[in-house]
Amino acid sequence: MDNDNNIDFKDLWKRQSVSQPDMQDLLGRLKKFKKTSMRTFWILNVLLFVTCVFNIFVWYYYQPQFISTKIGIVLMVLTMMIYLFVHNKLLGKYRNIEATQTNQEYLQNLILIKKKQQFLQTKMISFYFISLTIGICLYMYEYASRMTFLNLCLAYGITLSWIAFNWFYLRPRKIKKQQSKINSLIEKFEEINHQLES
C-alpha cells in the first residue's frame, strides 16, 4: 500500500547482463538432441524385433510338440510387447506434452503423466513379472518333462529361485526408489498448481 517506494524493478531487471549465443550453437544442439531421441527409439524397437525373431526361430527349429510350449512362447512375446508398447506410449506422451498451453493446463498434464508413470512402475511391473514367469514355466515344461526327476527339479528350481530373487528383492527395492522420487515430484507439481488456485 505504501507508494513511497521508488525502486525501479523494471530498470534493474533489464540491466541483467545477457549474452546471446550464436545461433549455430543452438542448431548444433538441436541436431544432437534429435539424434539421441531417435537412438533410444531404435534401440527399444530393435530389441523387441530381435526377441520376436528369436522366438519364431525356436518355434520353427525345435518344432515344439506340446501346446504348453507354444502358449509359453506367445505369452512371453506378448508380455514384452505390451510392456514396451505402454512404455513407448508414455515416453512419447511425456516428450510431446503440448508446450504451448497455459501454465495451469501444462501443470495438470504433467501431474497426469507422472501418475501414469507411477502406475507403470508398480502395477505394470508386477503384471510383467507374473506373466513372464508363467510364460517361462509353460515354455520349459516340454523340455523338462523329458529330463530325469532330479534334473527337472533342478531346472525349475534354478529358474524359479532367480525369478523369486527378482520378485522379492530387486523389484521392491526398485519400486521403492522410483516411487519416492516420483511421489515427491507429483507433490511438488500439485503444490505449484495449488499456487494458481489461491
Give the binding site for other proteins (CB under 8 A).
1-2, 5, 7, 9-10, 12-16, 18, 20-21, 23, 25-26, 29-30, 33, 99-107, 110, 185, 188-189, 192, 195-196
The count of other CB atoms within 10 Å of the CB of residue 117 is 20
Which CB sits closer to other proteins, 30 or 38?
Answer: 30
C-alpha cell at 78: 506378448
Smallest distance from the beta carbon of 15 to other proteins, in angstroms?
Answer: 5
The secondary structure element, H or E, covering residue 147 is none
Q: For residues 21 and 65, which CB has a smaller minimum distance to other proteins in the complex?
A: 21
Q: How far is the CB of 121 from other proteins (least distance, A)?
A: 15
Residue 34: CB minimum distance to other proteins, A = 9
- Under 8 Å between Cβ of 187 and 118: no
Written as nine digits, the cell of 7 is: 525502486
Measured in whole angstroms, the distance separating CA 88 from the mean position of its chain's CA atoms is 7
Identity of the residue, 175 or 185, whose beta carbon is nearer to other proteins in the bound complex: 185
* Closer residue to other proteins (CB): 13 or 60: 13
Closest approach, Cβ 5 to other proteins, in A, equals 5
The residue with cell 526408489 is 177
Given a contact cutoff of 8 angstroms between Cβ atoms, the answer to whether 83 and 47 are in contact is no
Angle between helices 125-144 and 149-165 (to 10 degrees): 170
In the complex, the smallest distance separating the C-beta of residue 93 from other proteins, rounded to whole angstroms, is 14
C-beta of residue 59 within 8 angstroms of C-beta of residue 77: no
Q: Which amino acid is at 36?
A: T
Closer to other proteins by CB, 26 or 150: give it. 26
Q: How many CB atoms lie within 10 A of CB 138?
A: 20
Closer residue to other proteins in complex, CB, 101/161: 101
Least distance (Å) between residue 56 CB and other proteins: 38
